[in-house]
Structure 1
């Protein structure tokens, strides 16, 4: 891992890093020493590692619970080079959306193309993060991801035994049912009841497919981009229950 820059603001240290050619960001308590729980955050489609939906979760996890929090850019986003196949598929989806035509095979193809690189990248970055003194090799790991972050997260959590709790949601892809069935860790699953892009019927089937003995459905009225802010507080409490809280944080 190469640290590219470091800043501190309001008690939170932000370090931009690269693991090979994978760019990422790490947030930790300023002055925090020793190992602590780690939360990985997956960003939404077309967003990046420092998008609002990432930072708005990362900062409360650091301040409230003393966690280390990391995010990486998905292929073709943020500081990554342009990805021709992803660009082609996104353009095709935009054309079909503009013509009010169904996405067809282009949508699952896009998800598979991103996941083929992103899931192995996450596992590589997790290896590197656990070699840091401020994270440690044996602490609990959580994952947070909605929308594309949920699509990729279901695949990652199903494969990665180091992840012991996850907040997932805003995803209804039927092709994820088999992966969801392999997830056995506690899950908080977020659904927007009026989400036309990821319809609730499909999202509820995916929730039902989860193999977790402990899983909680959080369904709120509104569209895909109207997840209530109080869901951030709920995710803080969820991770505190399952990952613990670092005493120095004075968390909840």
Structure 2
């Protein structure tokens, strides 16, 4: 892993890195040593690792929970290399929008192809991150991601035993149901009741498919991109509950 640069803002260290062409960022408390739980963030479609909402979430997890946080660019996004398939998808999105055609099924199929590329990238990054000072070696790992983040995060959680808890949402059952049936860690699932891209029945079926003994459904009114801001606080409590092992630390009592 090659660290490209480091900046510090409001007590949070932000280090950009590259690992064999995978572009990512690691956030952690500035100047703090010692291992801490790690949360992985998956960005949405058309976004990237430094999208402002993702950066704001990372800062909250670092300053409010004491976590280390990492994100990488999904294939075809941000600084990652774009393939011919990625370019065709972008063209297809523009054409369907112009024609007024539904986008959901087209996006779902492409996201499945991105996940096949992204899961091994996340695993390679996780191998290295867990050896770094801000992260507790062999410690619990959380995953947060909705929409494209869920399309990648569900198969990642199904394949990766180091992930101990996950927040998913805004995705459907058609492509992800089989992988969800192999996910047994605690899950918090976000559903937008008026989602224009993911049919409500499909999202509910995905929630039902998770094999997790502990899973919670958070259904809110609104469209695909309208997840309420207060769900950030809920995810903080969720990750503290499942990732903080030392109950004597201040973070454990938040």
Q: TM-score range by the shorter chain?
A: over 0.9
Q: TM-score, normalised by structure 2?
A: 0.94
Question: Secondary structure, in 3 states, of the residue corresponding to 1:217?
Answer: strand
Q: Tell me which residue corresponds to 1:74.
A: 74
Q: In 1, are the aligned partners of 2:240 and 2:252 still within 8 Å (CA)?
A: no
> Which has the higher mean CA deviation after the structures are superposed, 43-52 or 77-86?
77-86
- 2:96 aligned with 1:96: yes
Q: Tell me which residue corresponds to 1:20.
A: 20
| Whole-Å separation in 2 of the counterparts to 1:230 and 1:101 | 32
- 2:114 aligned with 1:122: no
Q: In 1, are the aligned partners of 2:103 and 2:197 still within 8 Å (CA)?
A: no
| Whole-Å separation in 1 of the counterparts to 2:245 and 2:43 | 24
> Which has the higher mean CA deviation after the structures are superposed, 174-183 or 83-92?
83-92
Q: In 2, are the aligned partners of 1:66 and 1:251 still within 8 Å (CA)?
A: no
Q: Tell me which residue corresponds to 1:45.
A: 45
Q: In 2, are the aligned partners of 1:37 and 1:141 still within 8 Å (CA)?
A: yes
How much does 1:84 deviate? Answer: 1.7
Distance verdict in 2 for CA 1:211–1:219, change over 3 Å: same
Could you list the runs of 4 or more consecutive aligned residues of structure 1 that deviate by over 2 angstroms after TM superposition? 100-109, 245-251
Q: Tell me which residue corresponds to 1:163.
A: 163
| Whole-Å separation in 1 of the counterparts to 2:175 and 2:113 | 14
Specify which structure has the bigger relative contact order, considering alpha-carbon pairs within 8 angstroms and separated by 6 or more residues. 1
Q: TM-score, normalised by structure 1?
A: 0.95
How much does 1:226 deviate? Answer: 1.1
- 2:91 aligned with 1:65: no
Distance verdict in 2 for CA 1:161–1:250, change over 3 Å: closer
C-alpha RMSD over aligned residues: 1.7
- 2:34 aligned with 1:29: no
Question: Secondary structure, in 3 states, of the residue corresponding to 2:198?
Answer: coil
Question: Secondary structure, in 3 states, of the residue corresponding to 1:177?
Answer: helix
Distance verdict in 2 for CA 1:45–1:173, change over 3 Å: farther
Distance verdict in 2 for CA 1:194–1:125, change over 3 Å: same
How much does 1:97 deviate? Answer: 3.1
**Structure 2 counterparts to residues 144-223 of structure 1, below 5 A:** 144-223=144-223
| Whole-Å separation in 2 of the counterparts to 1:236 and 1:136 | 18
Q: Tell me which residue corresponds to 1:143.
A: 143
